[in-house]
Structure 1
């Protein structure tokens, strides 16, 4: 592969050969270069967001790839509905594509992952897709030895901060039940992630900031979660590495979000936030699990709430509930871990100043209140009422949330739907 002195090209995770990351080249230049010299692709299928498809940036990508493009999918709906995935998978298979490229934000990334997994396993209808889902019932689940690698490989060009491109799993919504279901495989993610802060200046501000709160949620639930409990099986080195990378993530993401809220054209702030996401995902790689904000959020999405907005709405309430329950049960370590996160928020002078303007000085501050204030400082929704989810939907949300595996790794055990409903009520809003 020919090198370019401007390009930084590195492994996202030190010990893994995938994904690689490219930054500092224009996205279309990096994409054309690696499509040819890394993947030797001649039949490229693109999944592009509807908004970007109407922009000059999409024209740049099409010009760079030329007649290698054999198909284009314009948009995948929020939370990756199965019909969108299956329709795309059938077309990718029919076109004999040898490379998938995504240009856009989170749902496209999850969509491409599941599309590639479906094509690799010839899963072109709902029953076949259900059999390769991680949560498939035992009587319908495919024999693990029969599961094949995803195909074709994926290049992802993200325009948000949600970070899903770094994970070896994906979520897609089964519209028959409105349940988001998980798909997992060591090779389900992209082989290459191309980062371009300049491209991200075209992302709608609300999408950019909300996806940034999703990244904050990764850091907060990682740092304050069961990975650091007295009963954790993680060793000292693993804990140290996870804490280091999550804190590094917050150090880049928090001020990066504030700066781009003030100035959408601040490319350096965007780069800082983007590299903060890379650091954050290294914490995931060590093995730190998420908790109830993610678990309930996965099922809030299919009710019509944007991916990042689920974190804006739920994370403060989950933190408050966890702290209150931990104090009742004598789980002092929960408060200790929330204090670690608090210190990270106040360590940045711009973040601390923004919080103090909202009457949240460091002394006596609670993490749930601090996160909610930060969400509000970004101008994002901070309650279920703000996102149009009312009491008539609470029972369904609680029931579906109990099927999500991340409730099992919440730092305070969630024993049933009533616990979930308590969190939901905290998040309801006036």
Structure 2
């Protein structure tokens, strides 16, 4: 193994010129028992009439929802709990109509990435209709990172074919993020851990998909180490400290989404979800490691640094040259997926081998910019990549 500097374009300790774009997230709050003071937090932001967006599963579980609705006493005007995975367009329209009917001024999203994305989509529809921008306070129950970004997807269905379309709207970014580990206790273990792999995907694709950035890259690598250290321990629902560690690690992994482009792993994941019905978090379990292997020749130093961050048996020091192996980084991600009991192949997620050409065609048509990440290795690198995933 050859020790390599983290910034592979930096020589003689020169720092390249760069910039960092921030989204309009006004506040991130973290800690224990914040849920109980949620109403006071909302009032600080001028909230008077709140619509709560959540899921049927949290309605059925009751405990978390009761706690949140109690904290919103006097503010809550309505609740929409019919928001399904991958954000169907009809669910967004239903939530938007409820917001308008109740003359609300604030959205609270309680749930995982799909619910939070639905909140962004509702905000977008309201803005497009000439309504004032709603206050959007989000309480994540997973590690998906949707609460931090301006990205969201909405699934439309035409002629029995579902397609998930991606949007990037800074004016739809949630304004307030609340990290309370108690909000995650009702999250099924499989969803919790798979969303942790999605958080790793944010960090790793950010490192592989853009020029070096000395701030975001360092946070991403520290987030990778922090999340890999905490995720398995956080499966114990009594380990609230480890759960909060995982939440903060996911934030580090996706600290500046305005400066972090999405790459092939995420784009393929959007198609797997919107068209093939694969759960959002699980997509990265099958797509991330193969994309890393495909990119090893183009980004060896960056993948070596990721390998070092994932090596929990060794100290990780960003100030020292990174001794790691580009291909081994992908192996470590795949090993982590399997150690968490998650599927690591598309075949195990219900995707048939005969469907791979359709997946490839939709990727080419929908995300041509992501295709630029593919290079060499075969006459048809996309075919090779999808075969590796399957």
Band of TM-score, shorter chain: 0.7 to 0.9
The aligned residue for residue 266 of structure 1 is 239
- Supply the distance in 2 between the matched residues of 1:225 and 1:16 (Cα, whole angstroms): 19
Deviation for aligned residue 1:111:
0.4
Give CA deviations for 1:44-87 in whole Å, capped at 9, x if unaligned. Answer: 11111222223212111222222422211114111111111112
| Matched position secondary structure for 2:83 | coil
1:280: how far off? 1.9
Structure 2: how far apart are the matches of 1:84 and 1:15? 29
Find 1:42's aligned residue among 48, 55, 58. Answer: 48
What's the counterpart of residue 262 of structure 2? 290
Q: Which residue of 1 aligns with 2:10?
A: none
The TM-score with structure 1 as length reference comes to 0.77
Q: CA RMSD in A?
A: 2.7
**Superposed CA offset, 1:307-344 (max 9, x none):** 11110011111122223xx3xxxx4xx12221111011
Confirm or deny: 8 A CA contact 2:23 2:150 kept in the other structure: no
Aligned to 1:379: 341
Counterparts in 2 of 1:374 and 1:216: CA distance versus 1, 3 Å = same
Deviations 1:13-36 (A, max 9, x none): 996652311122524333201222
Equivalent-residue separation in structure 1 for 2:315 and 2:359 (angstroms): 33
The within-5 A match list for 1:223-238 is 223-228=207-212
- Could you state the TM-score of these two structures normalised by the residue count of structure 2? 0.85
CA contact 1:149–1:187 (8 Å) conserved in 2: no
Instruction: Give the conservation status (yes or no) of the 8 Å contact 1:24–1:196.
Output: yes
Aligned position for 1:145: none
Q: Does structure 2 retain, via aligned residues, the 8 Å contact 1:255–1:351?
A: no
Task: Supply the distance in 1 between the matched residues of 2:79 and 2:379 (Cα, whole angstroms).
Answer: 42
Does 2:186 align with 1:202? yes
Structure 1 position 217 matched with structure 2 position 201? yes
* Deviation sequence 1:192-225 (CA, Å, 0-9, x none): 1111012212211100000000000111112233
1:317 aligns with 2:290: yes
1:307 — aligned with what? 280
CA distance in 1, matches of 2:375, 2:227: 29
Of 391, 398, 402, which aligns to 2:360? Answer: 398
Is this contact kept in 1: 2:52–2:109, CA < 8 A? yes
- The DSSP-based 3-state class of the residue aligned with 1:72 is strand
Closer, same or farther: CA 88–283 of 1 in aligned 2, 3 Å: closer
Structure 1 residues without counterparts, runs of 5 or longer: 1-12, 123-147, 229-238, 353-361
Q: Distance in 2 between matches of 1:149 and 1:241?
A: 36
Report the Cα distance in structure 2 between the residues aligned to 1:118 and 1:60, rounded to whole angstroms.
Answer: 29
Partner residue in 1 for 2:385: 423
Alignment equivalent of 1:349, drawn from 313, 316, 320: 313
1:409–1:398 Cα change, 3 Å: closer
Query: What corresponds to 2:148 in structure 1?
Result: 166
Counterparts of 1:402-413 in structure 2 under 5 Å? 402-405=364-367, 407-408=369-370, 411-413=373-375
3-state SS of 2:232 partner: helix
- Assess if the C-alpha contact under 8 Å between 1:156 and 1:194 holds in 2: yes
Consecutive unaligned residues in structure 2, runs of 5 or more: 1-19, 317-323
- For the residues of structure 2 that align with 1:59 and 1:406, how far apart are their CA atoms? 45
**Does the C-alpha gap of structure 1 residues 66 and 91 become closer, same or farther in structure 2, counting only changes over 3 Å?**
same
Counterparts of 2:341 and 2:63, CA distance in 1? 28
Tell me how many residue pairs correspond in the alignment: 360
Q: Provide the C-alpha distance between the structure 1 equivalents of 2:240 and 2:143, rounded to a whole number of angstroms.
A: 14
Superposed CA deviations along residues 249-304 of structure 1, whole A, max 9, x for unmatched, are 1122111112124x23211111111111222222434x232321111111111211
